[in-house]
Amino acid sequence: MNPRITRKSEQLLASFKMRKTGPRIAVLGVLSGTRKPQTAEQIASKLGGKAPDKVTIYRNLASFVNAGFVHKAYLEARKWHFELANRCTEQQCHPHFVCSSCGRTRCLPEVLSPPLKLMGKGFVVYRQQIKLEGLCPSCSAKG
């Protein structure tokens, strides 16, 4: 792994007072090195033979989500995707676009959407996520 990404991962863990373990640094390294949300399986695949077992990956991701520096996004049936929360606000994750044809996901951090106001009393919204589906420019050009 890139020494700069390793240092950045260690600093992030330290800032949240979390232990700097090899698996945590490795998982954060994958999330830091990509611009798209990743599933636990994709993270394991990118780590190759150095990957911790999937239970360890999931536990670390859950710890990161609970700490608030990783968000999870529901982008496809029965799969959570994870990404660093550095392009989101505490209450709102940036929108994601998923192409219905090729399956590629594009993050849209530059797209701002106003928080939704719910009708009725008693609703407490912790975070808003927006998923857009359609055809990406490449697939829509194919006709």
What are the structural domains of the chain?
Answer: 3-86 (1.10.10.10)
Residue 49, Cβ neighbours under 10 Å: how many?
Answer: 4
Give the pLDDT of residue 118. Answer: 66
What residues form DSSP beta bridges with 74? 80
pTM for the full predicted model:
0.69
Tell me, what DSSP letter sits at residue 36? Answer: S
Helices (H), the chain: 3-15, 22-32, 40-47, 54-67, 137-141
User: Which one of 24-28, 29-33, 78-82 scores highest in mean pLDDT?
Assistant: 24-28
Query: Do the Cβ atoms of 20 and 14 come closer than 8 Å?
Result: yes
User: Which one of 56-65, 95-104, 133-142 scores highest in mean pLDDT?
Assistant: 56-65
What radius of gyration do the chain's Cα atoms show? 17
Residue 47 identity: L
Give the pLDDT of residue 94. Answer: 72
The answer to whether residue 7 scores a pLDDT higher than 60 is yes
- pLDDT single digits (tens) 78-124: 778 888 877 665 655 677 787 888 878 787 777 777 766 666 678 77
Helix (H, G, I), strand (E, B) or coil at 85: helix
> How large is the average pLDDT for residues 23-41?
90
Tell me, what DSSP letter sits at residue 117? Answer: P
What whole-number distance in Å separates Cα of residue 8 and Cα of residue 21? Answer: 14
Label residue 134 left, alpha or beta by phi (over 0 means left) and psi (-120 to 50 means alpha): left
127 CB burial (10 A radius; 0-12, 13-18, 19+): middle
Q: Which residue matches tokens 């640094």?
A: 25
**Mean predicted lDDT score pLDDT of the chain:** 83
And the tokens for 110? 């530059």
The answer to whether residue 40 scores a pLDDT higher than 90 is yes
